[in-house]
Structure 1
Amino acid sequence: MPTALYDALRHFADSWGLLYMMAIFLTVVFFLVRPGARANARDAARIPLDDGAPRDREVGR
């Protein structure tokens, strides 16, 4: 790879790459602290423990 191309790509990554990663970070943080995220996180945490049976079905019938 020519040195000029490498320097150009490195400069682009140093400037716009940082902004891109910051935008991803802020999006993830917003997704985690938005209203209603607690219920979704609780449901996602229970996935490995779920046996696959529907929740509204009564036991014993």
Structure 2
Amino acid sequence: METYSFLRHLADSWFLLAMTLGFLALCVWAFRPGSRAMHQDVASSIFRNDDRPAADDPAQPRKEA
């Protein structure tokens, strides 16, 4: 078997399988049950140094317009 055919066979079968398994593993890791708090923390990190209180902060009274 020549080199090109061998590498093409590997890319068509085993590397595709490895990439699919890697993708599924990353999806499971990102959506695992214990990661919600970490994702919430990262999502709100851009507001940490904000001078204004958060709009959904229950400790702050809302101003009526």
TM range (shorter): 0.5 to 0.7
Which consecutive unaligned segments of at least 5 residues does structure 2 have?
50-65
Task: Give unpaired runs (5+ residues) of structure 1.
Answer: 52-61
2:11 aligns with 13
Matches within 5 A, 1:1-61: 4-51=2-49
TM-superposed deviation, 1:41: 0.9
Shift of residue 33, structure 1, vs aligned partner: 2.0
**Is the helix fraction higher in 1 or 2?**
1
- TM-score of the superposed pair, with normalisation by structure 1: 0.63
* Percentage of matched positions with identical amino acids: 42
Structure 1: distance between partners of 2:45 and 2:4: 45
RMSD: 1.4
Moved over 4 A (4+): none
Structure number with bigger Rg: 2
